[in-house]
Structure 1
Amino acid sequence: MKLIEGRLSGYDTAQIIKLAGIYLSGIIYFSLGLVKLIRFKKKQKEVFSNIEQINFNWLLYQIIFLCLVWIIILFVKDDKFIFGSGAVFILWLGYFGISQVNVFSKQDIRLESYNDFSEISNEHFEPVEENDMGPASARLAKIYQHLLIILEEEKPYLNAELKLLDLARLLQIHTNVLSKAINATSKKNFYELINEKRVEEFIRKIKNGDHQKYTIITLAYDSGFNSKASFNRNFKRITGMSPTEFMVHKEFK
């Protein structure tokens, strides 16, 4: 009898440890999931020039929904309710997962590390005084100046799907280096810089009288924007006015 009681005591301890592990794993999963998602949302503007179609709210809902299912499994003893909630979650996850743009597409984002700044051509670079900035900052400034030349001459921002990776490949540098050059020199992120160039392109078009032949939204799309909402939001952020107010104020008729 004592032997059986001893085994039961060990079994109870194992069950407590197992249950604690289950609770802990759920807490860790949900916490890490939310942290990863928040970090990604903050990083979007460092990588993408248009973020309207990059909507990962469904992942936030998935984490919350899975948390609810987890709670049901742990605290509700009705098997039908447990399996029902699990089935609803799987159907919901399948629908919203498949409906996301490019969620299953595979993109090669590898880029060789670039550490030797001396290989970048200095042909178009403005001179930078080493006394004003350290060597690293001076090199970042040169990269940024090179970037501005490419933006002016080749206008890659007209591509609505432009990403930081695309410009890094044009400059033959690592994305981290390019992002640092943009942030340190312009005090802007990639998203802000590219959309400022798109707004400038739109203004050039209306100055040329293109708005007399095409609608405003057509000119916005031709300037690199992929939605009316994105165009209006960025235009007002940069100019302080809506496109219509700007055209009236500047007397573009």
Structure 2
Amino acid sequence: RIRPLARTLSKWYGEVIGLNVLELTINPGITGVVGPNGSGKSTLFKLVSGLIKPSVGTITVLDQNPWGNPALMARIGLCPDYDNLNDEHTARYFLRIVGGLHGIPRPALDKRIDEVFSIVGMTDAADRRIGGFSKGMRQRMKIAGAMLHEPELLLLDEPLSGTDPLGRREIIDLVHLLYREHGHNVIVSSHVLHEVERLTDNVVVVYKGRAVATGHIREIRDLIDQHPHNIIVEADRLDDLVKRFVEMDSVVSVTFAPDRS
């Protein structure tokens, strides 16, 4: 069972807090981490993958502490939010480099590379230069690199970012395939709630470095709908508009800005 678990976990960058979590449990399957840019999603992924050490607290992944633990890191695959691909390399050469870093013997590596190209739908592009790839293809290449060594846990940080509708559809289908047919447990992040909703029902909402909600997407949507929204409206005839607003059952209050008459 895969249960990345954090208790009283904090990561500070100088005087700036990157993440502050009292308790967080992530169960097997596909889990979405959603929040605006800068909310702490990437910091969480770096902590889970052992790339950075918590300033305070503990994090346990696959029953182990990931910090300074190469054996555990070999069981985790990270697809970062940045593009680390060399445009001059072919897709196959890139995966050979990744496989070499994992110590996979060459005959087994070549076989695994062909398998991975088939899984991510890029067999026809295996010997093409990465510089000619679309954004969606580059994202799938990053996922291919993360899953090459057959990790138990895949961390996909903003894999849908910058992709067109077709690219998003392909990556969403790929994430489902990785779990359902290939047994990878997946934690995937996005700053767009409806994108996460297409990936999974299990969601963690991160905001200003805190995990503010966890659970089923339907329950979280209900919480969002119940939370009051402040809406700023500009109009030439505010008096008429206010009369309409106060007649609405959903409007709690109307306030004029100080610089408005």
TM bucket (normalised to shorter chain) is under 0.3
Structure possessing the higher relative contact order (Cα contacts under 8 Å, 6 or more residues apart): 2
Higher strand share: 2
Larger radius of gyration: 1
Taking structure 2 as the reference length, the TM-score comes to 0.24
Higher helix share: 1
Taking structure 1 as the reference length, the TM-score comes to 0.25
